[in-house]
Amino acid sequence: MTHPDPSPSAGVSLKPEHYRSALEARADGLWFEVHPENYMADGGPRLRWLDAIRCEHPISLHGVGLSLGGPDRPDQAHIDRWKAVIERYQPVRISEHLAWSALDDVWFADLLPVPMTLRALDRFCRNVDIMQEELGTQVLIENPARYLRLGDECDEAVFLAETVRRTGCGLLLDVNNLFISANNLGIDPDAWLDRIPADAVGEIHLAGHEPDLELGEGLLIDTHGAAVSDPVWRLFDAVIGRFGARPTLIERDANIPAFETLMDERATAQRQLDAVCEQEHANA
Amino acid sequence: MPDAFFAEFAQMLRADAAVCVGLSDQPDGARLAVYRNNTVRAAIEALRAAYPTVNRLTGERFFSPMAKDYWRVSPPDQRSLTLYGEHFDRHIATYSPADSLPYLGDIASLDRAWLEAHHAADEPVCRPDMVAALAPDQVPDLAPGLHASVRMLDLSWPVHGIWDNHRSGAPISSKKIAAAPETVIVWRPNANVISSPVSPAQADYLRRLGAGRRLGETSLATLDRFPDFDPVAAFGAALSAGYLAGVNHDPD
């Protein structure tokens, strides 16, 4: 008996405090995502935990250190470490960001803003090409959470769509980032989604944000330190209603709650994905 | 936008004021501050995670500005924060607000050794049965080397006990101690990092083995410096503790 392709399912960010729960968790289609940068050590228990979890669940790798949006070519030593992590964990997907994070051998450990200029686009596409060629696989590129406009010459969605067209990369649509950028810069999410090539979206991220301590709701910060907010859930519903269901991650990097709390959010995402899949089947 | 943008933005991240001179349309300082705060906080929190005993002894409020001060002079040069903070112990030793806790640098060295041992390459240790399988006359020619996780520290203060207590969550004591040298070995023979003070003779013996010397010549050299040294006992202790790397003895 053959099965159709499994429906896109929801996953959870894997945190060290949840290793044992993650290893023992059982849920249809459950997968986990990690930052490869956290698994670039020579050895140790952290790597072995991920070995064990990888035997039970698919893993995706979400990089934060290649600085693809920066002025320089991707750091070869870092690409080599990426290769070792891919070789060891055989991820189902890999992704990076429309951002920069390093300059002159200093790493800033943050996703810094890229000016949306034609020159930056050329450079970014060159770097995405290099990453895909070196790693021998398609990379999904995530839209940033934006706090600033930087003398932009083109629209962010156009920048991303053009990157897809030139490099053949996919997109990681971070719904929380889209919501934040819409709030902070006045971007229209519908118009943004209109410009994104639907087929390129290979993964979705959902996370929590918090208002800036100084500017309040006028400046939302992508903290990954809170539950997914109601308006982000609604935007997620609109995104998958428009593009179809995609593998969806509950992302959390700060104020880490109990594993069960993240699994509850995952179940909510899964229900929304299932509803869209059922609708698609009904329409087919 | 010119390439100067990146250099100017980077300069803003490392400065105290959220002003980016290269931006024609100067944005709100609070918006630039988001990036600066993220960058600084990531480094501080990485150091706090890497130096939990220092953080516990000093308290978070003291630790944060000390960590920020380190980040200013030694920002991450790798694309991962896992092993960030290699020279934090030296920085602490010169950080004048910490003068009242003169052994804090040594505590930091121990936290660092723990971190490095924890993330060191996984490799089998040399076990007693591996050596027992060899002909007795082969043993002096073995050069097992130290296990990849072994870190040996020469401290100026005898703080291993204090560090070990705080690391395991014991209540903080303000016991006064006198400066005196102490050598400590930190290693991970399997999943868990272990540490122990070692005698000067043992330390001499292990360092020679770590440099790739053979057991026979090492025993003689250490005996030469420490006439009371017992090489058989030291080798037995190193084997049972798991300080040594696997034996690749060529029968030819």
Q: According to the 3-state scheme, what is the secondary structure of chain B?
A: CCCHHHHHHHHHHHCCCCCCCCCCCCCCHHHHHHHHHHHHHHHHHHHHHHCHHHHHHHCHHHHHHHHHHHHHHCCCCCCCCCCCCCCHHHHHHCCHHHCCCCCHHHHHHHHHHHHHHHCCCCCCECCHHHHHCCCHHHHHHCCCCECCCCEEEEECCCCHHHHHHHHCCCCCCCCCCCCCCEEEEEECCCCCCEEEEECHHHHHHHHHHHCCCCHHHHHHHHHHHCCCCCHHHHHHHHHHHCCEECCCCCCC
pLDDT at residue B24 is higher than 60: no
Collapse the DSSP code of A216 into the 3-class scheme (helix H, G, I; strand E, B; otherwise coil) and give the result.
Answer: strand
Q: Would you call A107 and B76 a contact, using CB atoms and an 8 Å cutoff?
A: yes
| Mean of per-residue pLDDT scores for chain B | 91
pLDDT (0 to 100) of residue A3: 39
pLDDT (0 to 100) of residue A150: 85
Confidence of residue A51 (pLDDT cuts 50, 70, 90): very high
Confidence of residue B252 (pLDDT cuts 50, 70, 90): very low
* A45 interfacial to chain B (CB closer than 8 Å): yes
Residues of A in contact with B20 (CB under 8 A): none
pLDDT at residue A25 is higher than 60: yes
Question: What percent of chain B has pLDDT above 90?
Answer: 77
Give the contacts of B2 (CB within 8 A, at least 6 positions apart): B22
Confidence of residue B3 (pLDDT cuts 50, 70, 90): confident
Residue B25 has its nearest CB partner, among A104, A106, A151, at A151
Instruction: State phi, psi for A128 to the nearest 5 degrees.
Output: -65, -40
Residue A107 has its nearest CB partner, among B3, B9, B79, at B79
Confidence of residue B28 (pLDDT cuts 50, 70, 90): confident
A259-to-A13, A210, A263, B139 alpha-carbon distances in Å? 10, 21, 6, 51
Q: Are residues B115 and B84 in contact, defined by beta-carbon separation less than 8 angstroms? A: no
Q: Are residues A147 and A138 in contact, defined by beta-carbon separation less than 8 angstroms? A: no
Mean of pLDDT values over A241-250: 96
Q: Would you call B191 and A45 a contact, using CB atoms and an 8 Å cutoff?
A: yes
Cα–Cα dist B90/A103, whole Å: 25
Mean of pLDDT values over A235-262: 96
A246-to-A205, A224, B77 alpha-carbon distances in Å? 10, 20, 36
Give B184-198 pLDDT, tens digit per residue.
999 999 889 999 999
Give B102-135 pLDDT, tens digit per residue.
999 999 999 999 999 999 999 999 999 989 999 9
A256-to-A9, A128, A262, B102, B174 alpha-carbon distances in Å? 22, 31, 9, 35, 33
Residues of B in contact with A96 (CB under 8 A): none
Residue of A nearest to B119 (CA): A44
**DSSP E strand stretches across A63-167:** 93-97, 100-103, 106-112, 140-142
Element (H, E) at A62: strand A59-62
Collapse the DSSP code of A229 into the 3-class scheme (helix H, G, I; strand E, B; otherwise coil) and give the result.
Answer: coil
Weakest-pLDDT range from A6-10, A202-206, B174-178? B174-178
pLDDT (0 to 100) of residue A43: 97
Maximum distance among all Cα pairs of chain B, rounded to whole angstroms:
79
* B16 interfacial to chain A (CB closer than 8 Å): no
Q: Report the predicted TM-score, pTM, of the whole model to 2 decimal places.
A: 0.93
pLDDT (0 to 100) of residue A149: 86
> Which burial class, exposed, middle or buried, applies to B10 when counting CB atoms under 10 A from its CB (0-12, 13-18, 19+)?
buried
Residues of A in contact with B122 (CB under 8 A): 43-44, 47-48
For A50, the token pair is: 């991920």
Nearest CA to A196 out of A249, A242, A127, A260 is that of: A242
Question: What percent of chain A has pLDDT above 70?
Answer: 98
pLDDT at residue A5 is higher than 60: no
pLDDT (0 to 100) of residue A1: 35
C-alpha R_g of chain A: 18
pLDDT at residue A21 is higher than 90: yes
Confidence of residue A214 (pLDDT cuts 50, 70, 90): confident
Q: Å from A282 to nearest chain B CA?
A: 46
pLDDT at residue B51 is higher than 80: yes
**Residue A244: Cβ within 10 Å count:** 16
